[in-house]
Amino acid sequence: MTRRAAQGMVAALGACAVLAGGISQATAVETPAASVVSNDPAATPAAYADYLQRSKEEGADDALRDFKRLTPSEQQQFIDYLHDPELLKTFLEKAGEQGGEPLTSSKEESHTTFLHNGDVSIEQERMTSFAAKAKKKPLPKGNHKVTYTTHLKLLGVKIIKLSLWVNFHSNGKDITKVNYGDAGKKNLSGVISLSKGMVKTSRSSWGWCQKGKPCSKGHNADASVVWEGNIVFKGSTFQIDKEQWMRANVYGSLVSYHLRNV
């Protein structure tokens, strides 16, 4: 077994998310190195550049341009990062973290986590289609969209993006209807396969009471999607499905969110 094959197997098993792995013995007419490349489009810098060249995925041309700008040593480091199970696990954990404060003072808010001395960046972005002018002011009457997106960049090259959004109607005080939801992805990792299931939406209720004061109640807009992820390595396939879920309120805030096994 080559060092790269061993790394691929550890990465697949260690990520414990949409990653997976397994190793079957190479055929007699195929060298171990050739077998690894044929099953792993990101096995080497040259293989990954070829993968991007042939990819029809949105952003592939930009990723190829940015990848070619890296030095040979940086390109090899990029490949090593792609096969780092802890890095991929961290990305998936960050993608599943809860949202923060309500988005009412600006249309978008983002937070970036840097790893490996800045080589790796994980950006979480929340965006609403309308920027409320006053803090904690409900969105005005009309239709609005709240989106949650997580990006993964390696050495400045954008390789993975997962997005989920929900569109709803506000009467200026409460969410009266959930219009639709959808999800999107950009996957230029070369080591992960992702497919999108049907997006589901619903309107949920909330309420709370404070002693001596009238009770408050209203509705949230929820959306969810199941991502089917797998990796094929040397003839073996392992799959774990992940549910991506979000809840937005009438203030345009992402109040809750998760990415978990189903």
pLDDT tens digit string along 131-145? Answer: 654 456 888 999 999
Nearest Cα residue to 2 out of 26, 27, 29: 26
What is the predicted pLDDT for the residue at 127? 75
Rounded CA-CA distance 35/235 in Å is: 10
Q: What is the pLDDT of residues 89-129, one digit of tens each?
A: 777 666 666 544 444 434 556 778 888 889 988 887 777 77
What is the predicted pLDDT for the residue at 34? 43
Rounded CA-CA distance 185/98 in Å is: 19
Quote the pTM value: 0.73
DSSP secondary structure letter of residue 35: H
Q: Which residue has the tokens 């550890």?
A: 10
Tell me if residue 73 falls in helix, strand or coil: helix
CA end-to-end distance (rounded Å), the chain:
33
What is the predicted pLDDT for the residue at 122? 82
User: Which class for 238: exposed (0-12), middle (13-18), buried (19 or more C-beta within 10 A)?
Assistant: middle
What is the predicted pLDDT for the residue at 166? 96
What is the predicted pLDDT for the residue at 150? 82
Q: What's 101-146 look like in SS3?
A: CCCCCCCEEEEEEEEHHHCEEEEEEEEECCCCCCCCCCCCCEEEEE
What is the predicted pLDDT for the residue at 181? 97
